[in-house]
């Protein structure tokens, strides 16, 4: 796919589970992408259009901070070595463990994912209660989930999916500059994620983020307009509420 391109259906045809979307509801988009792809930047750009962003990484940080809902289970499962002096999750220690121990990775996910999913569902319910003309109302909702296609129960929360993608060399360079990680560590993180080729096949829409921020903003604006068109469409008779 060319730099700065986006896989968008013709007209306002949004694929995925949009047949189950009714204009009286809120359209929910699942946003995903590999490390360094730019999904956080894309999410921020959508937020500037008033889109409500529900980010699984932010929820996970809340769950694993001091007194977070996941801390007791993490302590019971992994012990004191995986908490820092304040009682929050020791992220560096845990990252090293799950990279070398697949069973530990599954254990951590079994603790975190149900809690993250429950908080996302509650956030969706809260956002959906705002009247359309309320100052708090968003045109649609966006879930940001790195493991959207592999973690149980997340893909089903969205009507359709949007993947942010970029070339591998760009991906690695961004993470080195942003996080200071070495290439070997980054490649281990990438290997632990859903293979890029599989994600590209599963995504309903793709934004290719190999270019400039200006080019990315244009692609986000185009995608935003597509979703607005869907939100404003009258319901089809066969899916109208009875």
Tens of pLDDT, residue by residue over 80-122, are 999 999 999 999 899 889 988 999 999 999 999 999 999 999 9
First to last CA, the chain: 43
Asked whether 140 and 29 are in contact (CB, 8 A), the reply is yes
Asked whether 32 and 56 are in contact (CB, 8 A), the reply is no
For residue 242, the SS3 value is: coil
Tens of pLDDT, residue by residue over 166-220, are 999 999 999 999 988 889 888 888 887 888 899 999 999 999 999 999 999 999 9
The answer to pTM > 0.75 is: yes
Query: What whole-number distance in Å separates Cα of residue 128 and Cα of residue 115?
Result: 20
């Amino acid at each position: 796919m060319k730099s700065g391109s986006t896989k968008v259906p013709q007209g306002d045809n949004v694929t995925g589970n949009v047949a189950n979307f009714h204009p009286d509801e809120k359209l929910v988009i699942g946003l995903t992408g590999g490390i360094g792809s730019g999904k956080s930047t894309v999410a921020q750009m959508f937020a500037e259009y008033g889109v409500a962003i529900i980010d699984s990484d932010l929820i996970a940080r809340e769950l694993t901070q001091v007194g977070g809902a996941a801390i007791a289970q993490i302590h019971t499962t992994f012990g004191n070595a995986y908490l820092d002096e304040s009682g929050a999750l020791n992220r560096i220690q845990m990252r090293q463990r799950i990279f070398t121990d697949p069973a530990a990775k599954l254990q951590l996910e079994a603790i975190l994912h149900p809690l993250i999913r429950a908080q996302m569902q509650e956030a969706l319910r809260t956002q959906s209660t705002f009247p359309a003309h309320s100052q708090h109302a968003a045109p649609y909702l966006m879930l940001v989930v790195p493991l959207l296609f592999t973690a149980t129960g997340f893909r089903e929360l969205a009507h359709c999916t949007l993947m942010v993608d970029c070339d591998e060399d760009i991906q690695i360079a961004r993470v080195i500059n942003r996080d200071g990680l070495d290439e070997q560590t980054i490649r281990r993180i990438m290997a632990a994620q859903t293979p890029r080729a599989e994600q590209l096949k599963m995504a309903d829409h793709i934004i290719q983020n190999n270019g400039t921020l200006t080019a990315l903003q244009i692609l986000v604006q185009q995608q935003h307009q597509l979703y607005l068109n869907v939100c404003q469409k009258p319901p089809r008779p066969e899916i109208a509420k009875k």
